[in-house]
């Protein structure tokens, strides 16, 4: 499978714990995005990387959230001191740097439940 992969697919954690999610983009893609999606809503942009550089962060990304893409390949999203409001589907997407359309290829997501 050469699509975007995410791990884990599901995560249940207790409030206050830290969690980390991983995203492996399509190998030729140098742009990587993180989104959060809650039930009945569209994905909300969190941040994006071009290669290893984090170029934009949403105001939704509080100090408890941090994302990295150390070698310009896979990325991790960490949430510290989780809160119940963090429960959501966390989606990763990737795209080519050049060419149009700038379609984004989404992974299956990580569903986070904070109890």
Task: Kindly list the distances between the CA atom of residue 100 and the CA atoms of 7, 65, 81, 112, in Å, as whole numbers in the listed order.
Answer: 29, 31, 39, 33
Residue choice 31, 34, 65, 112 for contact with another protein (CB under 8 A) = 31
C-alpha 34/C-alpha 45 separation (Å) is 6
Residue among 1, 3, 4, 2 nearest 75 (CA): 4
* Residue 55 near another protein by CB under 8 A: yes
Contact between 108 and another protein per CB under 8 A: yes
CB 50 to another protein: min, Å:
8
Mark 61-90 with x for binding to another protein (rule: CB under 8 A) and - for no binding.
------------------------------
Footprint on this chain of another protein (rule: CB under 8 A): 31, 33, 40-45, 48, 50, 55-56, 58, 91, 93, 100-109
């Amino acid at each position: 499978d050469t699509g975007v992969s995410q791990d884990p697919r599901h995560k249940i954690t207790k409030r206050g714990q830290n969690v980390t999610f991983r995203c492996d983009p399509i190998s030729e893609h140098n742009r990587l995005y993180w989104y959060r999606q809650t039930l009945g809503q569209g994905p909300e942009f969190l941040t994006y990387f071009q290669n290893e550089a984090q170029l934009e962060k949403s105001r939704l990304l509080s100090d408890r959230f941090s994302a990295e893409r150390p070698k310009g390949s896979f990325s991790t999203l960490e949430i510290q001191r989780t809160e119940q409001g963090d429960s959501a589907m966390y989606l990763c997407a990737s795209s080519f740097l050049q060419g149009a359309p700038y379609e984004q290829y989404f992974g299956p997501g990580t569903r986070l439940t904070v109890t």
